[in-house]
Amino acid sequence: MSTDRTSGGLSKGWVCVLALAVACGGSSGGGRVDSGTPGADAGGLPADAGQDGDAGTSPDAGPDAGPPADAGVPPDGGTDSDAGTADGTRIQLPPGGRLYHGVFPAGTGRPDADISMQAADAYRDAVGRPLAWIYFSNEWYVTKQFPRVTAEAIRSRGAVPFIRLHMRSQQRQLIPDPRYTLDRIAAGEFDGELRTWADGAKAFGTAVIVQYGTEVNGDWYPWSPPYNGGFEVGPAKFQLAFRRIVEVMRDQGANNITWAFHLNGENWPSDTPLNNAGAYYPGDDVVDWIGFSIYQTQGPDQTKCRDLDALLKAREAELGDVASRKPLFLFEFGTNVVATACKPVEWTRKTLEDLLGGRWPELRGFSWWSETFTDGSSVMSVPDTPELREAFHDVLNGPLGPNLQDRPIVR
């Protein structure tokens, strides 16, 4: 999830205490993320955990632990012409003029990481359309195994697992990672772990989407330049690390992975030539999709109303020709209903209409970050927010609804 640093702290803030098997609660608004385990592989919460029976593998356990996922409730919408299934080898792009639709259905166990399949079902039922993908994080401070149980639960719902590969040894933000530095990844020190992960992905057998380096052009995650030698050398180091990860997994035969390059909508802390979208691009041969995190507003700053169109155009300009060679997506977007100065409900409805109406024909899909912070400072959960639920259901099932590609096309 992208962050809002304008008010002096991360908008996605947590203060959690973990004791044995007791997990911290949901999100909170202010301050830094400063939870998680201090060691590289200290274990802790279940790797794929959500809520209400969405348990997954234990840290570094085998890929098939945990209870089977329930199938969920069939959605009430969709189009008759939606060919596709989650059982193919690789996900394909939707037909021209159509968009994929996914979600991050926040769970309650780990900030910016875990999801709940119950929340995914609730979102799907609220908006009245199936999901092409469900988006979640694989946190290496919890487990380095491929998240098989969560992936199977997603596949059972007809969607493709979209995995944020978070190679980090702890969850604290704004500090270097003591283990998984870009230099060490690029040097091959973790090739063994990557091969094991790739074996799990290959054994899964059907399409998955994977990204490494979430929002690298920000400064909150440990793969960003401030924690890897600075902006003079950090972008090049990121390119090498990204390439290493993809090449190792491809060499291991995990060819069912679609590789995604994920940028923040704003370059932070500044728009310098050394910190722009194009500076991090690792190459056409290792990137299949490019996506952005763009939020109108989030967190404690409820007066900064961002312009999605302006941010999208700025990042596309920095990518140059790449933006026309590769399919583009909104991997994360949303707005905080509490920030009434930004007219968030109207923005949500208009943005959905613009997406499905073809205002940005270069965009091939989108996913909403569906979460409400426990302190109430940010409200983005669609199922729990009547205004958002109504906007989504009206637009996605209205005259523009046929422009959604409900089911992923895989072959």
Interval 201-231: pLDDT, tens: 999 999 999 999 999 999 999 999 999 999 9
Q: Is residue 74 part of a domain?
A: no
Into how many domains does the chain fold? Answer: 1
DSSP single-letter state for residue 33: B
The better pLDDT of the pair 290, 52 is held by 290
Integer Cα distance of 308 and 295 in angstroms: 7
CA diameter of the chain:
53
φ/ψ of 203, rounded to 5, equals -65, -30
Calpha distance 147→47 (Å, rounded): 7
- What mean pLDDT, rounded, does the chain reach? 83
**pLDDT recorded at residue 172:** 86
Quick: pLDDT tens for 223-269: 999 999 999 999 999 999 999 999 999 999 999 999 999 999 999 98
| Residue 138 is assigned to a structural domain of this protein | yes
Q: Domain holding 384: CATH number?
A: 3.20.20.80
C-alpha span between 285 and 18 (Å, rounded): 41
Question: Which burial class, exposed, middle or buried, applies to 327 when counting CB atoms under 10 A from its CB (0-12, 13-18, 19+)?
Answer: middle
How crowded is the C-beta side of 339, counted as CA atoms within 13 Å?
Answer: 25
Residue 8 lies in a domain: no
Residue 60 in any domain: the answer is no
Q: 21 in a domain, yes or no? A: no
Inside any domain, residue 352? yes
Is 271 or 351 the better-scoring residue by pLDDT? Answer: 351
